[in-house]
Structure 1
Amino acid sequence: MSTSNRFLKKLALNVAGVFTVIVAILFKSEQMYLMAGVMLLIPHVIDVLGRYLVRGLTCEREVPFECAEGDRVTVVIQVGNTGRLPKFFLRAIDKLPTALTMAGSDSPMILQLNSGERRTVSYKLDLTLRGVYEIGPTVVTSTDPFGFSTFQQTVGTTQELMVLPTPIPTSRLFLDGAAAGQRGDEGGTQRGGGMDFHGVREYRQGDDLRRVHWRTTARTGELAVTEYTQGSSLQVLLALDLARASYDDTGSGAESALEYGVKLAATVADNLARHGHRAILLTPDTLEMAQAPSNSAREMPALLEALARAQAVHELSLADMLERFRPLAPAGMTLVTITPVADGALVQAIRHYGAQGVRAFGFHLDGPSFHPAAHLNSERSGGVVRIPGVVWRTVGKGDDLAASIEGLAYGYQ
């Protein structure tokens, strides 16, 4: 019931009480005096009783241990009554951050909660954005039987709900063919010039003409080559820029440069893991860890947790972060950067990696396209951009991230 309706009910009762007093005076009726007194006292008695009834309540909450973007999860609240009197018409709902949406318009009601009794209610949340959120405390409300007033009490504590980023499905290996020949830890499989047949793909500059698949070439009219697997796996350093200055005026919420960057990082790590390759996540947060998380089966949850917590709040630039990590970078690994800033300092840092035998690729987030005032139809750079020492693919608001990931390697020369 709305606040205005409750006010009108109270006003109507008070007006009726005053009118009854006038009638009692005119007719000198003791019964009318009594009736008027009851009418005028009812709202005040209910107010005192209502405030007492919301005391002595306890709440405990159960939240999912692990969840991801796109999930609908159930949060369970157990309400207990430690008071001596029963409680009536109770609703319990948690305080929620704006990024979390409760499914449905109202919370369940507990019609009666006796002394010492515990009852359970639940509600569902639609998780639309990765992150770490504080849920609670719980607000318990009670409405008097006449509907005059609603009383509330804040009880319980807050709990952390972690929403992991969800990788985007991809159909083929990230950096397919571009990093062929790169060797890392033995035991994985990599597409290249091995002995096991893998499939047929389009011809790319540098491919051995002896591997041309003539039947496919004749059918499509475009050169195609056979592809094989070999017994080595890529090691990829996945460096995500989280410098505060890099994300100025690049949007907020799900349609922001930061969220696109996190989604790219999660998808690349997942893509490489599914094809037997190792990716190490490098951010200002993981740089301080004894060992940065990777996409191995044992460490993938830690990698996704790091991405769930990722926020652009650091002073450390991507270029400085790479320079700090460079002494630890194994020779022959592949570097993939994700950043809205492609300045001279970053190019110089990447060249230092190149001197150690590292090939560099990256995603350049087109910051202006994420600005709230930007128009999706405005002209902007796109596709693969080659800068000495690195191949970048520009990604803007509204772009197909799966296509950007799968198409990055084709800019390599």
Structure 2
Amino acid sequence: MREALRGLTTRGRSFLAAAAAATVSAFVLGERDLLRVAVLLAALPLLAAMYVGRSRYKLACTRSLDPGRTPVGTSARVILRLQNLSRLPTGTLLLEDRLPYALGSRPRVVLERLGAHQASSVAYTVRADVRGRYAIGPLVIRLTDPFGLCELERSFPSVDKLTVIPQVVALPAVRLAGEYNGTGESRARSVAVHGEDDAATREYRRGDDLRRVHWRSTARTGELMVRREEQPWESRATVVLDTRLYAHRGEGPTASFEWAVSAAASIAVHLRQNGYKLRLVTGSGVDVDAVEAGGEGIILDTLADVALTQSGDITTLVEQVRRRSDGGLVIGLFGALTVAEAEVLSGLRGNGATCIGFPIDSSTWESMNETDRAEADKAHAAAALALVRSGWRSVPVTHGEALPSLWPATARGSQGFAWRAAMAETVAGGVR
């Protein structure tokens, strides 16, 4: 009852105040009828508090998200299903789901009555323009009387997570430089080294199918030999994302870093769909692999959380990539680079790796006067040229450019790449 009295609404407290005023007036004026009015005014909120406080509803709630992972700028549907597990019907219920500010205002739904063992579903939509993981819930239920004099809150502890991933754009199909680099052992390579008899044989192991026994090799070696299972040549790719705070400009969804994150997501999905074994490395210490079917989901979930970091440099990023590097294709998305930093990136050229870089001119994400703009353009062109001389394919990026239009420049023998390299050398002027 004490909790119910604390739940009196402004209307209920006004009734009690009116009752107190009527009581004082009745004694001062000697009006017994006014005292009866005071008793009625006080009884109404007290009875309402007793009614709400003694309500013992058994309610169950489930929440589902459709979909649970949504790209930036799209909507997701939240479905709430409320079931009355008790034998008594409920009164008026006000439902409110707790949401973070980025998903919009909190939805409020009124259920007039929920019968015994009856269930009802309500739905609402949310939309996020900033990637991340957002907690939805807990659901708060407000119990109230028919006159709105008392209101109590009950909440469910369950919280669901909505993952807002970066925007993924479709990329045109091109033949990438280094697309056949990777690891694996194919029958054709073994034949070239060992000859037909030993092309794909190994020692017999317990459990091997006897139909795979290679009798010619067995007779020659004196040991039971079986045919080795063919292992296809695997294409591997590493996507490198620069997360240095000072290398990016802009704020919110239109910042240069958000362009880089969206590009990393688009490239990762494109490569996975083309059969690449994928690895994602960021300057903030993230290092994840996507080798199984549907592995791009791991990459997208990781990119939903990635953020800029004040610590870290290009040298540390190179060391992190090389720690588990096995060659293949390396695609880097870098913020503003200096010539020295571009030269450090040559360290990723080991193990026969083919490197394609997207140096982002983050200075174009902010306004500058003509003199500063000329200096910034020259510095960016010099860094792009240094990246080329470090053995990278360099595809410079400026504000307003779309990744699908830049992607063809990564193709083998692309004229777009040669044109961009020539432009970079021209703008860089005397920088050599």
TM-score of the two chains, using structure 1 as the length reference:
0.67
Listed as ranges, the gaps of 5+ residues in structure 2 are 1-8, 186-232, 422-432
Letter in 1 for 2:91: F
1:311-341 CA distance string (max 9 Å, x none): 335844443232233254334x332111324
Listed as ranges, the gaps of 5+ residues in structure 1 are 1-5, 188-231
Equivalences for residues 372-411 of structure 1 within 5 A:
374-375=366-367, 379=373, 381=377, 385-387=384-386, 388-389=389-390, 390-396=392-398, 398-407=400-409, 410-411=416-417
- The Cα of 1:304 is off from its aligned counterpart by 2.1
Letter in 2 for 1:303: I
1:39-83 CA distance string (max 9 Å, x none): 134334434544554875543322346422144322222334567
Equivalences for residues 191-206 of structure 1 within 5 A:
none
Q: Is the 8 A contact 1:334 1:359 kept in 2?
A: yes
Aligned pair 1:300/2:300, yes or no?
A: no
Aligned pair 1:109/2:131, yes or no?
A: no
Moved more, 249-258 or 34-43: 249-258
- The Cα of 1:238 is off from its aligned counterpart by 1.0
Residue 99 of structure 1: SS of its match in structure 2?
Answer: helix
Task: Name the CA distance, whole Å, in 1 between partners of 2:252 and 2:57.
Answer: 38
Task: Name the CA distance, whole Å, in 2 between partners of 1:375 and 1:41.
Answer: 68
Letter in 1 for 2:31: K
Task: Name the CA distance, whole Å, in 2 between partners of 1:397 and 1:153.
Answer: 50
Counterpart selection for 1:335 from 330, 334, 340: 330
Q: Partner residue of 1:236?
A: 237
Counterpart selection for 2:92 from 68, 89, 92: 89
Q: Is the 8 A contact 1:75 1:124 kept in 2?
A: yes
Determine what percentage of the aligned residue pairs are the same residue. Answer: 20
Residue 77 of structure 2: SS of its match in structure 1?
Answer: strand
- The Cα of 1:33 is off from its aligned counterpart by 1.9
RMSD after superposition: 4.1
Q: 1:180 to 1:157 in 2, by over 3 A?
A: closer
Q: Is the 8 A contact 1:376 1:398 kept in 2?
A: no
- The Cα of 1:396 is off from its aligned counterpart by 5.0
Q: Is the 8 A contact 2:318 2:347 kept in 1?
A: no
Counterpart selection for 1:364 from 336, 359, 365: 359
Q: 1:275 to 1:303 in 2, by over 3 A?
A: same
Q: Is the 8 A contact 1:75 1:122 kept in 2?
A: yes
Q: Partner residue of 1:325?
A: 321
- The Cα of 1:246 is off from its aligned counterpart by 4.7
Q: 1:309 to 1:46 in 2, by over 3 A?
A: same
Residue 302 of structure 1: SS of its match in structure 2?
Answer: helix
Equivalences for residues 117-156 of structure 1 within 5 A:
117-156=118-157
Q: 1:84 to 1:310 in 2, by over 3 A?
A: same
Q: Is the 8 A contact 2:79 2:122 kept in 1?
A: yes
Q: Is the 8 A contact 1:74 1:124 kept in 2?
A: yes
Q: 1:76 to 1:156 in 2, by over 3 A?
A: farther
Q: Partner residue of 1:263?
A: 262
Moved more, 339-348 or 132-141: 339-348
- The Cα of 1:263 is off from its aligned counterpart by 0.5
Moved more, 389-398 or 160-169: 389-398
Task: Name the CA distance, whole Å, in 2 between partners of 1:396 and 1:149.
Answer: 60
Equivalences for residues 174-323 of structure 1 within 5 A:
179=177, 183-184=181-182, 235-243=236-244, 245-246=245-246, 250-275=249-274, 279-283=278-282, 286-287=286-287, 292-294=289-291, 297-313=293-309, 315-323=311-319
Task: Name the CA distance, whole Å, in 2 between partners of 1:83 and 1:57.
Answer: 7
- The Cα of 1:109 is off from its aligned counterpart by 1.9
- The Cα of 1:10 is off from its aligned counterpart by 5.5
Q: Partner residue of 1:74?
A: 77
Q: Is the 8 A contact 1:54 1:142 kept in 2?
A: no
Residue 35 of structure 2: SS of its match in structure 1?
Answer: helix
TM-score of the two chains, using structure 2 as the length reference:
0.65
Q: Is the 8 A contact 2:67 2:76 kept in 1?
A: no
Q: Is the 8 A contact 2:10 2:149 kept in 1?
A: yes
Q: Partner residue of 2:165?
A: 164
Residue 37 of structure 1: SS of its match in structure 2?
Answer: helix
Q: Partner residue of 2:224?
A: none
Residue 91 of structure 2: SS of its match in structure 1?
Answer: strand
Q: Which has the higher strand share?
A: 1
- The Cα of 1:172 is off from its aligned counterpart by 4.2
Task: Name the CA distance, whole Å, in 1 between partners of 2:99 and 2:401.
Answer: 31
Q: Partner residue of 1:98?
A: 101
Counterpart selection for 2:44 from 42, 45, 49: 42
